Amino acid sequence: MKRVSVRPASYAVVAIMGMVAVWLTPALEPKQIFPLAPVVVSRPGFEPTDFLFKPVVIEASNTELVDTLQISGVINSSLYNALNESGVGVLPPSARHQLAWSLADIFEYKVDMSRDLRQGDRFHLLIERLQKPNGAIIVNKVLGAQLALANGKNPLEAIHFDTPGSSTGQYYDASGMSLRAAFLRAPVAFRRISSIFGARKHPIFGEWRNHTGTDYAAAQGTPVRAIGDGVVIFAGVKGGYGNMIDIRHRNGMVSRYGHMRNFATGMRPGARVAMGSTIGFVGMTGWATGPHLHFEIRVDGVAHDPKLALQSRGGEPIPAGERVLFQKMRNQTLASLNQTHLASVTE
C-alpha cells in the first residue's frame, strides 16, 4: 500500500495558524520617533554610493496607561447593542462586548439580563480603562454602575469597594449592602431566553400547556450553575425532563434543572453544591427539540415563577470599620454617575 504523506497538509495548517496569530496581534503603538542622519552604503569597485537610506528609531512605551471613563445609554434592543453604540470611539468592540457581560455579572443577584430588561431602560457606568504597552485597550474595572429599569421604582446602584481580605473587591448598593445575595437570578452565565413562565404551545406535542419554568437556549455543553448553596436530592433521568437535577436549598426551596446533556462529576443525591458551581451541561435530553436548559423553582412541590421566587432582599452590610471610607468612595462615584446622567439628558 502506498504511503500518503501528510507533510504538505501539516505545513498548510501551520501557515494558516501563523497568519491568524499575526492578524490577531495588536499593533505596537509608537510613542516617540527619532529621525537620524542618512547613512551611505558603498562597496569597493562600485559607484561611491550604491544606495541611501534613512534609519528611524521608534521607542515604544513599556508602561500601562489608566484613566476613568463615563458611559451612558438607553436600551432599545439589547444591552450589548446599547453598549456597543455608547462605547464607539472610546472602547474597541471586544471591550464593549466584555463590558456588557461584566455589567450582567455585577447585577446577577438582582437582575436576569435575559428577561428583566425592557426597551427604554437606562444605564450609567464609570469604568477604569487600561491601555497595555502593546496598544490593546481593555476595561480594567467597573467602578460604579446605575441601572434604571422601566418597571422599577428606584435605579439599581453598584459601587465597587475593596474590603480587607478581598483581592478583587466587591459591589455594594448606596446604603452599603452587598449586592451578593443567597441566590443567583439565572443558572446560565451567557443568557439567551427562549420562553417565559406560563402557558405556551409545546414544541413537540403542538398543544398549549402550562410551562412551569424558564427555558434558557444555549449551545450544547454550556455549563449550568447552581443558583445557590444546597444539597442534591435527585440526579438522573425523569420523563420529559431528560437528565435532571433537583437541589434543595436552606429555605426549603428546590431548584430544578432539566434537559441536560450530562452531569458534572460528583452530582448524586446527598452531594453538597455551592452557589455558582457547575452541576451539569446544557443538552437536549427528554422532550426537547433543541439544546436548552429548563429551569424551575418549586416550593412545597408547586412550581413558582423564578422571577418572583428569586427576588433578592440584599446581602451583608459593609464592615462598620470601613463605612466612613466607603461613604467617601460612594459619594465620589455617584457624583460622577450623576454627571453622566445629566449629560445624557441634555443631549
- Residue 164 belongs to domain spanning: 65-181+313-346
**Residues 175, 74 share a domain:** yes
User: Using one digit for the tens of pLDDT, what is the confidence trace for 192-225?
Assistant: 544 444 444 434 333 434 456 788 888 889 999 9
Average per-residue pLDDT in the chain?
A: 80
Q: Which residue has the higher pLDDT, 343 or 66?
A: 66
Higher pLDDT, 112 or 10: 112
Domain count, the chain: 2
Each residue's pLDDT tens digit, 328-347 = 999 999 998 887 554 444 44
CATH number at residue 171: 3.10.450.350
Tens digits of per-residue pLDDT, 19-60?
777 776 666 555 555 555 555 545 555 555 455 555 555 556
Do residues 212 and 296 both lie within one domain?
Answer: yes
The predicted model gives 322-327 an average pLDDT of 92
pLDDT reported for residue 206: 39
Residue 260 lies in a domain: yes
What does the block give as the cell for 134?
Answer: 502593546
Q: Report CA-CA distances (Å) from 39 to 36, 49, 50, 55, 59.
A: 9, 10, 11, 8, 20
CATH number at residue 280: 2.70.70.10
> 137: pLDDT confidence band, cut at 50, 70 and 90?
very high
Indicate if 227 and 281 belong to the same structural domain. yes
11 residue type, one letter: Y
Given a cut of 60, whether residue 316 has pLDDT beyond it is: yes
Cβ(37)–Cβ(99) under 8 Å? no
Query: Is the same domain home to 79 and 169?
Result: yes
What region, left, alpha or beta, does residue 24 occupy, with left being phi > 0 and alpha being psi -120 to 50 degrees? Answer: alpha
Return the pLDDT at 180: 87
> 104 or 7: whose pLDDT is higher?
104
Give the percent of the chain with pLDDT over 90.
39
Residue 310 has pLDDT above 80, yes or no: yes
Q: Is residue 227 part of a domain?
A: yes
Looking from the CA of 71 toward its CB, the CA atoms found within 13 Å total 28
Given a cut of 80, is residue 106 above it in pLDDT?
yes
Name which of 129, 126, 123, 110 is nearest 159 in CA terms.
126
Q: Give the confidence band of 14 by pLDDT, cuts at 50, 70, 90.
A: confident
pTM to 2 decimal places:
0.67
Residue 115 domain flag: yes
